[in-house]
Structure 1
Amino acid sequence: MNNTLYPIKFKPILKDKIWGGRKLNNLLNKESDLPNIGESWEISDVEGDTSIVSNGSLKGQSLKYLLENLKDDLIGYKNYKIFGDKFPLLIKFIDAKKDLSIQLHPNDKLAAKRHNSFGKTEMWYVMQADQNSNLIVGFNQEVTTDLYLKHLEEKTLTEILNFDKVNAGDTYFIGVGRVHAIGAGVMLAEIQQTSDVTYRVYDWDRVDDAGNERELHNDLAIDAIDFNMPDDFKVNYSKVKNQSNDMISCPYFTTSYLEITENIKKENSQDSFLIYICVDGEAEIIANGISEYLKTGETILLPAGIKQYEINSEKATLLEVYV
């Protein structure tokens, strides 16, 4: 086993967004002078936005460098055969001070053909929500292409969309082709395929400081929308303490809920890296004799070559992710 393997943290990549706010500063301690921080990219291998290690002996190296040098020691043999020097997941925190645009993402086939990219299957875990905040997920009735286009043209799209009132802990699985939007007042963790391809279909008629509307992608979106998806997007999961509780398992990632109230020993039996996203509290992760602390709003990567490790905490809630 490679002796350099240890719990790796990365420098957050912060994104100024027209709909962003201050929660990522105030609640998650992300340091930035940006006026409207909408997103913190925690682990990213998106072109032009590659994460940089912020701790330990690999500090200053890029995620790309880690992949090229550690290979299957970093992401696992099976994953390296599939993805090569490309990290398969993008981990984010998102703060919507205002409503995000109504949007959807293409599947792998369309994304590869049109954008030389993966598709964008994703999930949301709500960390905080102001009173009466909503997420838009799917439609509130059976919708045909003609009905959708009629509402789009008449700017009445919201009449056929499903609004879900949300609270902290609510979890959603957003499959490719599903129309969705994060509503004002919601802060969440997002786990997704490595892709930055979004088809924006409606943006509430808002304009930027220069009076320009943001680009819409309705020509591309119409082929990508799946009008026949079942209403299975809300995720129910157990919350048994001090063990991993299955939340979502799909071809692109598996996510578990882990609430810790004591010191636990863990084993990685997967041929994969592990990612821990701290959504509440604070924990210490120890691997190969190296200790790293994880606070609310922080993310850590455990390379696949680490098989035994400890998580120590009196109170922490983590999302555990692997491929």
Structure 2
Amino acid sequence: MLNKRSTNGVVVQKNISWIALSLLILVSGISAMTNEINVYSHRHYDSDRILFSRFTKETGIKINVIKGSADQLIQRLISEGKNSPADVLLTVDSGRLYRAKEAGILQPVESNILKRNVPEVMRDPEGFWYGMTVRARVIVYSKERVKPAELSTYEDLAKPYWKGRIVARSSSNIYNQSLMASIIAANGSDKALVWAQGVRENMARAPRGSDRDQARAVASGLADVAIMNTYYLGILANSSDVADREVAKKVDVFFPNQNGRGAHINVSGGGITASSKNKNSAIKFLEFLTSEKSQKTFANVNYEYPLKIETNRSKLLNSWGSFKADTMNLSILGTKNLEAVKLFDIAGWE
């Protein structure tokens, strides 16, 4: 109780401070006491809701989800520091996972199950983050105006042949930054800059919109090819909007660089936060998401490739054909992100 005999407020203030401290300790420990984990997630898909519910049913561990953009969640974790209630960070693109690691908000994890479930190239070499699903960044083309034989590599899109025929989103988008980072790693900075300049010159309009907007532009006849992630085409093909389903029917997928390094891939993934009070449960959660059963759900519900791409059984994904994926360790995309941004700026790719 507060000391009501105090006339100067000192004792009252001291008791209030003790009460506040006690509440902080209580809030920090409540997840552990109630067998819960707090997940900060940039993902917003039906597949995740299905799997989170399944995980709770199978393990008894409740999941509290806090959603936001990747940048918002990373900044929030930085601001909260060691007092953050978060146990897991889920986001998309290894470039963002690299940022989280560099910001010091993730901790390394040793798990034989995660090592078995997640191919080496799709996880941080030091165990700070692990891939969860795979996306391929491909060329989507008009079935009416482009023949597959006309397509070959990402590099080929910079040639004059494609003048006025390409659409792509802004260079501020992490997906394009990671693609550019992969080209820097494969070909060097000088050639990567020439590529970015060539593709920008070949665009039918200034970069804008989402990946789905690029497919819509191709279907409408504004452009002939687009650079985009495969799973967005799956979303269009299964949309409740008839117009979007028509868009999907008018375009098809081409996997570039099949005679070389392979198509550029990236992951959505997660890591255990540095502040986690429920590390064991959080690890169990990541192990569950990377399991074979969960991988099938991601593929069938959200049209993302499983971590072991060759095990894919999704009818839609298989309709696009099998492909050779680039085997570059995805952590490299994070290390070259700043250079990619700089080269895009020099190239005039807005």
Shared fold (TM-score greater than 0.5)? Answer: no
* TM-score computed with the length of structure 1 as normaliser: 0.24
Query: Which structure carries more helix by proportion?
Result: 2
Query: Going by fraction, where is strand more abundant, 1 or 2?
Result: 1
Which structure is richer in relative contact order (CA contacts within 8 A, separation 6 or more)? 2
